[in-house]
């Protein structure tokens, strides 16, 4: 029976898969035990590759929206109509009247990664956005400022560490995020078996916290205070160990001054942890044989996300745990995008330009997504009048989705490169659908760069595309040629990939990878500083001005916290990651939607009792931007005063053509998040800690939710 080996591209874990097939039909999907990174691990999302491939709702050919509904058109007609209308809008209103949004599936696709750059250049607009600023932008700003390149991100060496501090992350469910770690449970168990410790800091007792050695609740959005208190303790108690990094560090005195006023006793009442626990945590971390602090969504998508990611780096550095086995290390992938772009001086740009309406900073040519709706709705020079979206659903994934939905409904023209008519693309005039994962070749440029072990793997297509289908790179290439008015070079992904592999540190070739269908192991992470740095002086600035100055904003905001705590919105709303969900379009996979209802509001039983709420009852969640109705699920895993709703739901809007998703619509958390709540330092959306109030909304339902 034929077996096809490939990497799953549905989330960051890039698990190796073994797909048994016969006569064009998939018989089974299981984990590839010979994959050097995932070693047989697989999660339920892998079956969605088959569901998406076979999905009757999936678009395969271009469609045009008409008064009578969607109609199929030819590729040539679609390309010409898209380019004609985009140029028409730019002719009337200027080049920046076009907006472009790229969703996070783009970084999971080789074609998009290689061909989206020329496409955006051909569009000629400054109004570009992506999912980066609804997710991990603080990581990139900290990396760019401290290490000289926005993709030079420290990765936890989970295979060798003795102490892992996890802040606002749930890697037992995500299998790593900006830390490609398939089968994280195995790594976590390994830490504990060698006598190490795992500690989780989170407003919810997550699946990871349940298995950790210790878990501490913390008020949402206040992680920077904990990190400052830990750094304060480590400095005051003489626990700093700079090790080999000492000669290349600058700004240690400024860090000492910045942390000076943040003792554990001062911080404790503000974050909900005891001072003694903070001191113990700092000492245990600093005195462990090796340790690493890792913070993700909860630490990034908040008002102080930039501060958090800077302070996490500082904590790892001051304890001697950066660029060291068992600490936070840098990868050396076969396709070395950091080395390749850095050697050409393309390390990223931050704050060079500001958005037109709210003056939010640009990062690497993109404005924050929090500004997208207002840039469409606000009249004036540079107003966005037309949009192009590529593999994204920002109506569900960006703050204040209702406002963006309204904005997109008023556009003069919209084009989408997408396989579904979803909550966003329903507004498009033309949709250009690319092939899916099983019909495409693949190499993970980004997630090998973020992996806990250096590996390389190439995945050929399992199935041939139909003659009238187009790959994403073919669509982008065709549009680029028409927009630029110049013929393309005819380049395809394979020779570009082969060139990058040969130029990389391991001098591999595509031919070698094709001959190794399970992938190639390239060894554990290795110390590489200062050589890997891209700062002008090959040194690490511990105290960049933009971060130190932002501490003043934190201090000023703290004065208002008491008033906030007693306002009309006494609860703080956070999101949550779910194993069988990543992006909103996965909700159209039948096998991922089985089981009990998952789009619920988690609320602590004591809070529910005070509000007269019972498990399964429909409640109303109200914020400054809107209100939603959702079933309550009582859970002692929640910190009192904090409630949680998962992201990516909200499929009940009109004209959405995703049958399975519409049968399980849920509600969108972003109907109550606020586009004005951002990290002012980086511009990242601040989803965590949204002030809300919870009200009963009718009789209790028969189905009870309680755990």
Domain containing residue 19: CATH number: 3.30.200.210
Which one of 487, 506, 525 terminates a domain?
506
Residue linked to tokens 């989330």:
11
Specify whether 283 is located in the same domain as 162.
yes
Contact criterion met (CB below 8 Å) for 313 and 544: no
CA distance 192 to 213: 8
Which one of 491, 506, 521 terminates a domain?
506
* 587-613 pLDDT per residue, tens: 999 999 988 999 999 999 999 999 999
φ, ψ for residue 584, nearest 5 deg:
-60, -30
Asked if the structure places residue 531 within a domain, the reply is no
- What's the pTM? 0.96
Specify whether 418 is located in the same domain as 502.
yes
Q: Quote the tokens at residue 641.
A: 């005063």
Cα-only R_g, the chain:
24
Domain total of the chain: 4
CA geometry: angle at 686 spanning 683 and 688, to 5°?
Answer: 160
Q: Quote the tokens at residue 501.
A: 């592999």
**Residue 419: helix, strand or coil by DSSP?**
coil
Residue 623 zone, left/alpha/beta (φ > 0; ψ -120 to 50; rest): beta
* 65-109 pLDDT per residue, tens: 999 999 999 999 999 999 999 999 999 999 999 999 999 999 999
Query: What percentage of the chain exceeds 90 in pLDDT?
Result: 92
Integer CA distances (angstroms), 358 to 100, 369, 372, 616, in order: 18, 12, 10, 40
> pLDDT value at position 706?
34
Asked if the structure places residue 677 within a domain, the reply is yes
> pLDDT value at position 680?
96
Asked if the structure places residue 521 within a domain, the reply is no
Q: Which of 247-251, 255-259, 338-342, 581-585 has the lowest mean pLDDT?
A: 581-585
Contact criterion met (CB below 8 Å) for 470 and 419: no
Q: Tell me the mean pLDDT in the region 21-28.
A: 94
Specify whether 462 is located in the same domain as 604.
no
Q: Quote the tokens at residue 218.
A: 């913390």
Asked if the structure places residue 142 within a domain, the reply is no
572 or 583, greater pLDDT? 572
The CB density around residue 597, as the number of other CB atoms within 10 Å, is 14
> pLDDT value at position 566?
55
CATH of the domain at 598: 2.40.40.20
Residues forming beta bridges with residue 694, ordered by sequence position: 621
Give the mean pLDDT of the chain: 95
CA distance 160 to 194: 9
* 125-176 pLDDT per residue, tens: 999 999 999 999 999 999 999 999 999 999 999 999 999 999 999 999 999 9
> pLDDT value at position 704?
36
24 or 404, greater pLDDT? 404
Residue 581 zone, left/alpha/beta (φ > 0; ψ -120 to 50; rest): beta
CA distance 665 to 630: 11
Specify whether 236 is located in the same domain as 316.
yes
> pLDDT value at position 699?
45
Is residue 565's pLDDT more than 60?
Answer: no
The CB density around residue 670, as the number of other CB atoms within 10 Å, is 33
Specify whether 452 is located in the same domain as 368.
yes
Is residue 382's pLDDT more than 60?
Answer: yes
CA distance 230 to 201: 13
345 or 568, greater pLDDT? 568
What b/e readout covers 141-156, taking b as 16+ CB neighbours within 10 angstroms?
A: bbbbbbbbbbbbbbbb
**Residue 362: helix, strand or coil by DSSP?**
strand
Q: Quote the tokens at residue 50.
A: 């088959």
Q: How many CA atoms lie within 13 A of 649 on its CB side?
A: 25
Contact criterion met (CB below 8 Å) for 584 and 593: no
Contact criterion met (CB below 8 Å) for 227 and 308: yes
* 298-320 pLDDT per residue, tens: 999 999 999 999 999 999 999 99
Contact criterion met (CB below 8 Å) for 9 and 109: yes
Integer CA distances (angstroms), 46 to 29, 58, 189, 418, 658, in order: 7, 18, 23, 20, 19
Asked if the structure places residue 539 within a domain, the reply is no
Q: Quote the tokens at residue 419.
A: 């396989």
> pLDDT value at position 65?
98
> pLDDT value at position 702?
35
Is residue 277's pLDDT more than 80?
Answer: yes
Specify whether 68 is located in the same domain as 196.
no
Residues forming beta bridges with residue 645, ordered by sequence position: none
Q: How many CA atoms lie within 13 A of 421 on its CB side?
A: 25
Write out the H or E segment, with its range, that includes residue 619: strand 618-622
CA distance 590 to 592: 5
> pLDDT value at position 344?
75
Q: What is the maximum alpha-carbon separation in the chain? A: 73
Q: Residue 408's closest CA among 655, 665, 619, 682? A: 655
Specify whether 201 is located in the same domain as 322.
yes
CA distance 433 to 389: 12
Confidence of residue 705 (pLDDT cuts 50, 70, 90): very low
Per DSSP bridges, beta strands 601-603 and 328-329 are unpaired
Q: Quote the tokens at residue 604.
A: 């602590």
Query: What percentage of the chain exceeds 70 in pLDDT?
Result: 98
Specify whether 24 is located in the same domain as 77.
no
Specify whether 310 is located in the same domain as 372.
no
CATH of the domain at 122: 3.40.50.740
DSSP classification of residue 506:
T
493 or 561, greater pLDDT? 493
Is residue 217's pLDDT more than 50?
Answer: yes
Q: Tell me the mean pLDDT in the region 210-227.
A: 98
CATH of the domain at 238: 3.40.228.10
Specify whether 182 is located in the same domain as 317.
yes
Q: Quote the tokens at residue 626.
A: 């809107």
> pLDDT value at position 401?
97
**Residue 509: helix, strand or coil by DSSP?**
coil
Which one of 479, 506, 533 terminates a domain?
506
* 186-197 pLDDT per residue, tens: 999 999 999 999
CA distance 48 to 29: 10
* 614-641 pLDDT per residue, tens: 999 999 999 999 999 999 999 999 999 9
Q: Quote the tokens at residue 679.
A: 């990290």
Q: Tell me the mean pLDDT in the region 452-456.
A: 98
Residues 6 or more apart whose Cβ sits within 8 Å of residue 204: 574, 576, 602, 637, 638, 639, 642, 644
* 496-526 pLDDT per residue, tens: 999 999 999 999 999 999 999 999 999 999 9
Write out the H or E segment, with its range, that includes residue 293: strand 292-295
Residues forming beta bridges with residue 20, ordered by sequence position: 3, 28
> pLDDT value at position 560?
83
Specify whether 91 is located in the same domain as 165.
no
Asked if the structure places residue 41 within a domain, the reply is yes
Contact criterion met (CB below 8 Å) for 251 and 300: no
Confidence of residue 248 (pLDDT cuts 50, 70, 90): very high
Give the domain range for residue 11: 3-54
> pLDDT value at position 563?
61
CA distance 239 to 232: 10
Residues 6 or more apart whose Cβ sits within 8 Å of residue 256: 235
Contact criterion met (CB below 8 Å) for 449 and 154: no
> pLDDT value at position 567?
77
Is residue 533's pLDDT more than 90?
Answer: yes
Contact criterion met (CB below 8 Å) for 164 and 199: yes
Q: Residue 100's closest CA among 378, 435, 413, 346? A: 413
Asked if the structure places residue 673 within a domain, the reply is yes
Spell out where 422-521 has E strands: 430-432, 442-443, 455-456, 458-459, 520-521
> pLDDT value at position 673?
97
Residue linked to tokens 């914020």:
623
What b/e readout covers 46-56, taking b as 16+ CB neighbours within 10 angstroms?
A: bbbbbbbbebe
> pLDDT value at position 47?
85
Specify whether 387 is located in the same domain as 317.
no
Alpha helices in 94-211 (DSSP H): 110-123, 137-147, 171-174, 184-193, 207-211
Asked if the structure places residue 21 within a domain, the reply is yes
């Amino acid at each position: 029976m034929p077996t096809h080996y490939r990497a799953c591209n549905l989330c960051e874990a890039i698990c190796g898969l073994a797909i048994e097939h016969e006569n064009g039909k998939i018989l089974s999907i299981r984990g590839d035990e010979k994959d050097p990174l995932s070693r047989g691990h697989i999660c339920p999302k892998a079956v969605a590759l088959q569901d998406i491939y076979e999905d009757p709702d999936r678009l395969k050919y271009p469609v045009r929206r008409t008064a009578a509904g969607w109609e199929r058109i030819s590729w040539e007609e679609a390309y010409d109509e898209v380019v004609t209308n985009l140029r028409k809008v730019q002719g009337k209103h200027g080049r920046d009247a076009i907006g472009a949004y790229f969703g996070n599936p783009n970084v999971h696709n080789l074609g998009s990664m290689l061909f989206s750059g020329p496409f955006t250049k051909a569009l000629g607009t400054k109004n570009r956005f992506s999912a980066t600023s609804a997710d991990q932008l603080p990581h990139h700003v900290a990396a760019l400022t401290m290490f000289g390149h926005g993709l030079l991100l420290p990765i936890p060496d989970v295979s060798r560490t003795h102490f892992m501090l996890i802040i606002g992350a749930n890697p037992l469910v995500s299998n790593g995020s900006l830390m490609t770690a398939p089968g994280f449970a195995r790594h976590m168990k390994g830490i504990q078996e060698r006598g190490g410790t795992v500690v989780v800091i989170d407003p919810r007792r997550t699946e990871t916290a349940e298995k950790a050695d210790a878990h501490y609740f913390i008020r949402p959005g206040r992680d920077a205070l904990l990190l400052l208190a830990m750094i304060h303790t480590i400095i005051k108690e003489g626990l700093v160990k700079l090790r080999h990094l000492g000669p290349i560090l600058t700004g240690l005195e400024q860090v000492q001054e910045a942390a000076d006023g943040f003792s554990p006793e001062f911080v404790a009442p503000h974050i909900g942890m005891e001072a003694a626990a903070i001191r113990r945590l700092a000492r245990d971390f600093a005195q462990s044989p090796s340790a690493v602090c890792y913070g993700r969504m909860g630490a990034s998508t908040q008002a102080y996300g930039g501060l958090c990611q800077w302070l996490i780096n500082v904590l790892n550095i001051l304890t001697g745990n950066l660029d060291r086995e068992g600490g936070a290390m840098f990868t050396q992938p076969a396709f070395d995008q950091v080395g390749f772009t850095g050697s050409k001086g393309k390390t990223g740009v931050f704050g060079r330009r500001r958005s037109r309406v709210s003056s939010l900073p640009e990062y690497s040519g993109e404005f924050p997504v929090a500004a997208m709706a207002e840039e469409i709705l606000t009249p004036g020079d540079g107003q966005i009048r037309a949009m192009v979206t590529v593999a994204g659903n920002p109506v569900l994934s960006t703050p204040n989705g209702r406002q963006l939905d309204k904005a997109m409904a008023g556009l003069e023209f919209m084009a989408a490169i997408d396989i579904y008519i979803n909550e966003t693309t329903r507004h498009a005039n033309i949709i250009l659908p690319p092939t899916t994962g099983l019909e495409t070749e693949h190499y993970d440029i980004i997630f090998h760069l973020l992996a806990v072990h250096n590996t390389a793997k190439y995945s050929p297509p399992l199935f041939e595309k139909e003659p009238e289908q187009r790959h994403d790179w073919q669509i982008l290439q065709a549009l680029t040629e028409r927009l630029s008015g110049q013929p393309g070079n005819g380049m395809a992904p394979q020779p570009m990939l082969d060139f990058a592999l040969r130029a990389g540190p391991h001098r591999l070739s595509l031919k070698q990878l094709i001959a190794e269908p399970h992938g190639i192991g390239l060894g554990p992470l290795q110390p590489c500083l200062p050589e890997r740095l891209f700062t002008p002086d090959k040194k690490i600035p511990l105290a960049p001005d933009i971060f130190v100055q932002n501490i003043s904003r934190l201090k000023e905001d703290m004065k208002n916290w008491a008033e906030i705590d007693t306002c009309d919105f006494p609860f703080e709303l956070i999101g949550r990651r779910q194993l069988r969900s990543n992006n909103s379009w996965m909700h159209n996979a039948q096998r991922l939607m089985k089981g009990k209802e998952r789009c619920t509001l988690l609320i602590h039983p004591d809070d529910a009792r005070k509000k007269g709420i019972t498990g399964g009852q429909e409640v109303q969640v109200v914020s400054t931007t809107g209100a939603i109705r959702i079933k309550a699920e009582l859970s002692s895993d929640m910190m009192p005063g904090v409630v949680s709703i998962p992201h990516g739901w909200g499929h009940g809007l009109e004209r959405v053509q995703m049958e399975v998703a519409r049968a399980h619509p849920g509600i969108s958390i972003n109907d109550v998040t606020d586009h004005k709540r951002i990290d002012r330092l980086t511009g990242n959306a601040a989803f965590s800690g949204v002030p809300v109030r919870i009200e009963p909304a009718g009789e209790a339902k028969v189905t009870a939710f309680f755990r």
